[in-house]
Structure 1
Amino acid sequence: MKQNIEIKTADGTAKAVIFRADSAPSKVGGAERGVVFYMDAMGPRAALDGMAQRLANLGYVVLLPDLFYRFGAYGPFTGTSFSDETAKAQIMTMVRGTTQEMTKRDTASFLDTLAAAGATGPVGAVGYCMGGGRAVTAAGAFPDRVGAAASFHGGNLASDAEDSPHRLAGDIKGRVYVGVAGVDGSFPPEQSARLAEALRTAEVDHIIENYVGMAHGWAVPDHGVYNAVGGERHWKRLKTFLDEALSQGNLR
């Protein structure tokens, strides 16, 4: 079940969609379970709607916001838009112009929106590509509200940048799962090692899993590199991770 909404943020108004289960209940022990779905660089579209609905059907209220709302109308794009140089240039302008700090501010409004929708307990943050770092940042910025953060083929999770998500490891109270593309220039082995060290030093309950043979974008159906086997593996991992993290009150 899909509901289009608008969210008032500190910087303007973001379009978003709330997804609820078509049939399965989203309540556990009387409380709604919520997830913020952080988009990839091509923005909200049919492929992400389908993923968000599938996640909702696992028993969650899922919020899919447009992180590029500050730019007004754009696209539409698909998972293969990077092959078009004009579209790629527009996408990269928006990616670079949407900082982690901006998304951190937005996330306060996203969490309030989920709470108003009934998800009043710890929620999950799930992100793909550029959204992966946003999910981890959300866990560090809102440790008492985000109980689980999952990143799939997320880029620059442990870079040299001042706003690199790994720098918030010491603030994270929930669990973290990172699904890494086998070969991914946006998250090379040295960053993976840096992230692992930061999470382990901070005693964060975490998993970093390497999807050998998968390329950046493998989990999103409209990407040219989508891999059906890897995609289903990601769903299996995500379901188990969220069920465990959000059903057992794992916050420290």
Structure 2
Amino acid sequence: MAKRDIQIKTSDGLVKAGLFRSAAQAKAAIILYMDAFGLRPALDQMAERLAGDNYAVLVPDIFYRNAPYGPFEAKTAFSDEKRKAVIMGLLSGTTQDMTIRDSGAFLDALDAEGVAGPVGTVGYCMGGARALNAAAAYPGRILAAASFHGGNLASDAADSPHLKAASIKARVYVGTAGVDRSFPPEQSARLAEALRTAEVDHVIENYAGMAHGWCVPDHSAFDATGAERHWKRLATLFAETLG
């Protein structure tokens, strides 16, 4: 498994990103949208696992406009009020529209790396909504989009992904934590209605007993059994849509 650190030029600066791929020619590409704790070994580990199925996996720094920052320890970051304030500032200062624009540059970077075929997206925590919004913004290229413990997927905000359901041509998978204040049952119902009305091929699955962050190995809520279930769902989604 090979990782290359690359830089991607956008209208707002340079994005640091990791590009992971096996020695074989990648059959398709995946963009992994990070959680709120930034690029770190845990995300590298996840990208390597995806790349092991012969995908080229791009993991960009969504917070690049505010770099350098951190690093943050996922298990303890919110236990310190100063660190929590910094992370919340990064979140509020990096809008969905910013990441949607950036995603066009991410796709161009994949083209430049010789991976010009279909693309899947997957996001965790704050990355979940970004993975879905990217699919809505680039429907001709993104054929699969997944969110795991993503927050505010059907909120009252103008940039909520459910409002763009009609633009999504990808197959969508949403894995939700059993109890998650950032994505309560009423939002799940609203998202399901929007996707079904738009005739989007989708699954919304509730992981009962899991807490927000259960998929990410360095997160305090990590659950090995639940994480393996997520990997199986993700492998199936990408195998059936990306070829």
TM-score by length of 2: 0.97
Amino acid at match of 1:165: P
Q: Secondary structure at the match of 2:140?
A: coil
Q: Secondary structure at the match of 1:213?
A: coil
Identical amino acids, percent of aligned pairs: 64
Q: Deviations over 1:138-197 (max 9, x none)?
A: 010000010000000000000000000111100011100000000000000000000000
Q: Distance in 1 between matches of 2:74 and 2:228?
A: 18
Q: Which residue in the other structure is 1:2 paired with?
A: 3
Q: Distance in 2 between matches of 1:98 and 1:26?
A: 34
* Contact 1:42–1:91 (Cα < 8 Å) also in 2: yes
Q: Distance in 2 between matches of 1:14 and 1:66?
A: 6
Q: Deviations over 1:83-115 (max 9, x none)?
A: 222111100100011000000000000011112
**Considering only aligned residues, what root-mean-square deviation do their CA atoms show, in Å?**
0.9
Q: Distance in 2 between matches of 1:213 and 1:235?
A: 17
1:158 to 2:154 alignment: yes
Q: Distance in 1 between matches of 2:73 and 2:121?
A: 22
Q: Distance in 1 between matches of 2:218 and 2:100?
A: 27
For structure 2, the residue ranges without an aligned partner over 5 or more in a row are none
**Which residue, 170, 190, 197 being the options, matches 1:194?**
190
Amino acid at match of 2:206: N
Q: Distance in 2 between matches of 1:78 and 1:194?
A: 33
Matched ranges for 1:138-149 at <5 A? 138-149=134-145
Amino acid at match of 2:4: Q
* Contact 1:45–1:78 (Cα < 8 Å) also in 2: no
Q: Which residue in the other structure is 1:41 paired with?
A: 36
Amino acid at match of 1:64: V
Q: Which residue in the other structure is 2:67 paired with?
A: 72
**Which residue, 201, 204, 208 being the options, matches 1:208?**
204
Q: Distance in 2 between matches of 1:84 and 1:240?
A: 38
Q: Which residue in the other structure is 1:250 paired with?
A: none
Corresponding residue pairs, total = 241
Q: Which residue in the other structure is 2:164 paired with?
A: 168
**Which residue, 174, 178, 185 being the options, matches 2:181?**
185
Q: Secondary structure at the match of 1:183?
A: coil
User: Which structure 1 residue ranges, 4+ long, deviate > 3 Å from structure 2?
Assistant: none
Matched ranges for 1:129-144 at <5 A? 129-144=125-140
Q: Distance in 2 between matches of 1:226 and 1:42?
A: 14
Q: Distance in 2 between matches of 1:26 and 1:86?
A: 44
For structure 1, the residue ranges without an aligned partner over 5 or more in a row are 248-252
Q: Secondary structure at the match of 1:214?
A: coil
Q: Secondary structure at the match of 2:36?
A: coil
For residue 78 of structure 1, report the CA deviation from its aligned partner: 2.3
